[in-house]
Structure 1
Amino acid sequence: MEFRPVGSKERVATLDILRGFSLLGILLVNMFGFYLPMPHIADLSNWFSEAQDIIWQQLLDIYVQSSFYPLFSMLFGYGLAMQFLKAKETGASFYRFAPKRMIILFIVGMLHAVLIWWGDILATYAFCGIFLIALMRLRAKWLLIIAVVVNGLYHAIILSLYKAGGMFDTTTDSLSVDIVAIQSSIEAYGVGSWMDAFSQRLVDLSIQLSPFMWISSLFTILPYMLIGAALGKWRLIEGAKDKLVTWLVLAVLGIGIGIYMKSLPIAGAQTFGNEYLQVYIGGPMLALGYIAVVTLLTQLPFIVKVLSPVAKAGRMSMTLYIMQSIVCTVLFYNWGFGLFGKVDVQMGVFIALAIYVCQLVMAELYFSKFKQGPLEAAMKRLTYGK
């Protein structure tokens, strides 16, 4: 029996809209990494001194930061569960192609990280995806239980250590700053050549892709994928019209708890403990809320029609994600337009919005002639041989 990816007629509009929506959130967050020496900034909230920058950074901290990688992780798990169920229905071999796809995705991610930008997330998704594939045979409730237990225990242990160490009373402005590393990054990206940027990128990658990052991703990113896979096995998005109350509860709880948790370091004390709650509890809760709100809105046909450009962007999300890195490195690095360190937070947001709108237009034009994004088509050929 032939195993193939989801075709254009079988796509779920809500999932594509969510992917397209995620592209904007991811770009807004990644902008800091494009124009600032992010791997060497101990705490971004203490980096800015101008009132306007602080306000914009706080708004991004609450509504965007740490919410879109969990959202995309859940979508990743949901999509993989759809493929698993489809293979099961057709009698195809899911385990023949799924690991191969993760290996290819890992290679693409590492090439992206080494040659374009150090902040790649694709390789991490592929790494966690291998473990997700191994667990995919389990029933949906067990996927959800494993996700909650693994993620819950991990954060419970760390928060207990934070509490014992007084981290809920220690402010983040006590962090030391590596001035030498920051200056080196500014020189390499801001005034250096392509080779200078390449050398600095390898240094930044040693921080971004440290052994601790790979291990911690199994306790953070993988559980989000498992949650998405559980939702996918229950087909909660496809059957949203029959589960409106469930999605409404998720929307209220996700948005409410998420915004409250993410506001703690801003409305309250800016301590290590509150920032941990903001990132690792508030972030994924708000992501779940966003998924629920978009799912509810897309039950209205005119909303789906209005958001059609966003859905098209979601259909070529990997292509547009890599394109964002290419465009931004050209804009900010010295071998391009040299804007590294020369824009404020507000301008960074406007640049991100402008890039995103251009990508929506490009996706609309592209799908008037083609059925898949270029990288998506290449992935399909390499994975399925067609």
Structure 2
Amino acid sequence: MVAAPSTLVRCAARLPPARLVTVATTQQAGPAGPTATTERALGPDLARGFMLLFIALANSHYFLRGDTVRGGYPMDGSWLDSAVTWLIATFVDGRAFPMFGLLFGYGVAHIARRNEALGPRGVRRLLWRRALVLIVVGFLHAMLLFVGDILAAYGVLLLLGAWTVRWRGRWLLVLAAAFFALTVLPSADSLSISADPPDASMLPPDLVTMVTERIQVHPWVALGGPIGFAAPFLVGLVAGRARVLERPERYRRLLTVTAAGGIAIAVLGAQPVALMLAGVTDVPSAATLELIGPLHDGSGVLGGFGYAALITLVATRFAARPGPVVEAIRATGQRSMTCYLMQSVVWAAAFTPFLLDLSGILSVAATALLATATWLATVVAADRMRRAGRRGPFEVLVRRVAYGRRR
């Protein structure tokens, strides 16, 4: 992981191409199918489940309106709103999505390893089918619920990333470093500090405007998103080959350094933007904004790696005897796509002008409370599905298209 580059490069350099990383398997006529929930490692699922809280916090504040809005935060709130703004800008914004990008690449490496008997073309076709499902569902999600959809972006990334699953680890890390460099280049268009209020694609006044505006914005999100997700995805492929998150006892030092270093860098790198958004410091010059925005985003990528490492280390304490809370959050991570879409139903109902229209009423603090309550509701729903022995409906959809109805 990037927080400990020399260690990871040495690990990656020892990894042979994916075609040589073999697992004892018998010849099979079709794909191996999804991993049974009882066989899944706790760390990655727990990370996905918990970080969906951060996804909710990150997405919901961008709906808010106010006299002055900067970075998705109204500037005319109370001291409590300022404190919540600082917390979210420091620990959440630009930190949760890189972690999901890492876990996405990690999962792709797991699928490629599990279905190695299909051969290179068979694995690519399997991944492409998954990608097409993400693109289609993401398009519908963006049109009907939330224009900031990331599923289609992940689908586009997988369409291209399917070609990289057999690359040597060293080349994957080199390419990841190149994409990371794009993240930290000075830019006047950093999303972290955008002063634009929610537009008609986020808060459409009617159904016709909703469709006409979102159909124009969605392609930019779906095609531009993979650029930002590419570095975490590629690092996730390398980590997935080594099974870093599934073997924390073997990679404890790497995980510890990544957790401590990545989160520390993310917190420090967020401060120029976080303090400005909280109203503690004045808005700097345009030249300074072009530097602190990418600093916030770039440090957030390392923070995402740090979060994944930290949660994996925490998971080792519960792996033998997970309690009901851990099992519920794990179930949420196993149904992350369904739970992510459930969040968007709440945002659409709460903020759409022709529905509840709360975007000009709720404060930053109240919206954070709504986001937390929404996440808790998805945790309860996911745990009930677990107890009933049911997968999430959208996880079932992806598996049926990728593996066939018999799966």
| Band of TM-score, shorter chain | 0.7 to 0.9
Q: What whole-Å deviation, never above 9, does each CA across 1:238-278 have from its counterpart, x for those lacking one? A: 11111111111111110111100011234577541343234
Deviates more, 1:46-55 or 1:94-103: 46-55
Match for residue 216 of structure 2? Answer: 206
Residue among 78, 82, 101 paired with 1:54: 82
CA–CA distance in structure 2, aligned partners of residues 246 and 185 of structure 1? 42
Percent of counterpart pairs with the same letter?
25
Residue among 299, 310, 333 paired with 2:329: 310
Shift of 1:221: 0.9
The one-letter code sitting in structure 1 at the alignment partner of 2:248 is A
Q: What whole-Å deviation, never above 9, does each CA across 1:103-144 have from its counterpart, x for those lacking one? A: 111000001101222111100110111111111111223212
Matched, 1:219 2:238: no
Q: CA RMSD in A?
A: 2.9
The one-letter code sitting in structure 2 at the alignment partner of 1:117 is F
Matched, 1:357 2:386: no
Shift of 1:311: 0.5
Residue among 49, 52, 60 paired with 1:31: 60
Contact between 2:127 and 2:162, CA under 8 Å: does it hold in 1?
A: yes
Q: What whole-Å deviation, never above 9, does each CA across 1:208-239 have from its counterpart, x for those lacking one? A: 542xx555434321121111111101111111
Contact between 1:106 and 1:124, CA under 8 Å: does it hold in 2?
A: yes
Shift of 1:369: 1.4
**Residues 1-386 of structure 1: pairs in structure 2 closer than 5 A:** 1=28, 2-3=30-31, 4-36=33-65, 43-44=71-72, 47-88=75-116, 93-152=122-181, 154-155=182-183, 158-159=185-186, 189=204, 192=205, 196-200=206-210, 202-204=212-214, 206-207=216-217, 209-210=219-220, 213=221, 216-267=224-275, 270=283, 271-301=288-318, 304-305=322-323, 306-386=325-405
CA–CA distance in structure 2, aligned partners of residues 298 and 332 of structure 1? 36
Shift of 1:35: 4.2
CA–CA distance in structure 2, aligned partners of residues 67 and 77 of structure 1? 16
Shift of 1:327: 2.0
Do the aligned partners of residues 64 and 132 (structure 1) sit closer, same or farther apart at CA in structure 2, a change above 3 Å counting? same
CA–CA distance in structure 1, aligned partners of residues 102 and 175 of structure 2? 14
Q: What whole-Å deviation, never above 9, does each CA across 1:146-171 have from its counterpart, x for those lacking one? A: 1112322x246x33x77xxxx9xxxx
Shift of 1:80: 0.6
The 3-state SS of whatever aligns with 2:360 is coil
Contact between 2:265 and 2:299, CA under 8 Å: does it hold in 1?
A: yes
Shift of 1:345: 0.7
Do the aligned partners of residues 88 and 53 (structure 1) sit closer, same or farther apart at CA in structure 2, a change above 3 Å counting? same
In structure 1, the gaps of 5 or more residues are none
Contact between 1:98 and 1:133, CA under 8 Å: does it hold in 2?
A: yes
Q: What whole-Å deviation, never above 9, does each CA across 1:19-59 have from its counterpart, x for those lacking one? A: 1112111111111234449xx96633574454332221121
CA–CA distance in structure 1, aligned partners of residues 201 and 159 of structure 2? 33
CA–CA distance in structure 2, aligned partners of residues 185 and 114 of structure 1? 9
CA–CA distance in structure 1, aligned partners of residues 92 and 314 of structure 2? 19
Contact between 1:255 and 1:290, CA under 8 Å: does it hold in 2?
A: yes
CA–CA distance in structure 2, aligned partners of residues 269 and 286 of structure 1? 25
Do the aligned partners of residues 70 and 94 (structure 1) sit closer, same or farther apart at CA in structure 2, a change above 3 Å counting? same
CA–CA distance in structure 2, aligned partners of residues 144 and 314 of structure 1? 26
Do the aligned partners of residues 214 and 362 (structure 1) sit closer, same or farther apart at CA in structure 2, a change above 3 Å counting? closer
The 3-state SS of whatever aligns with 2:35 is coil
Shift of 1:84: 0.5
Contact between 2:64 and 2:73, CA under 8 Å: does it hold in 1?
A: no
Do the aligned partners of residues 364 and 143 (structure 1) sit closer, same or farther apart at CA in structure 2, a change above 3 Å counting? same
CA–CA distance in structure 2, aligned partners of residues 102 and 41 of structure 1? 35
Contact between 1:244 and 1:296, CA under 8 Å: does it hold in 2?
A: yes
Contact between 1:110 and 1:123, CA under 8 Å: does it hold in 2?
A: yes
CA–CA distance in structure 1, aligned partners of residues 171 and 239 of structure 2? 12
TM-score when scaled to structure 1? 0.84
Q: What whole-Å deviation, never above 9, does each CA across 1:74-110 have from its counterpart, x for those lacking one? A: 1111001000011126769312311011011100000
Contact between 2:61 and 2:73, CA under 8 Å: does it hold in 1?
A: no
Contact between 2:73 and 2:364, CA under 8 Å: does it hold in 1?
A: no
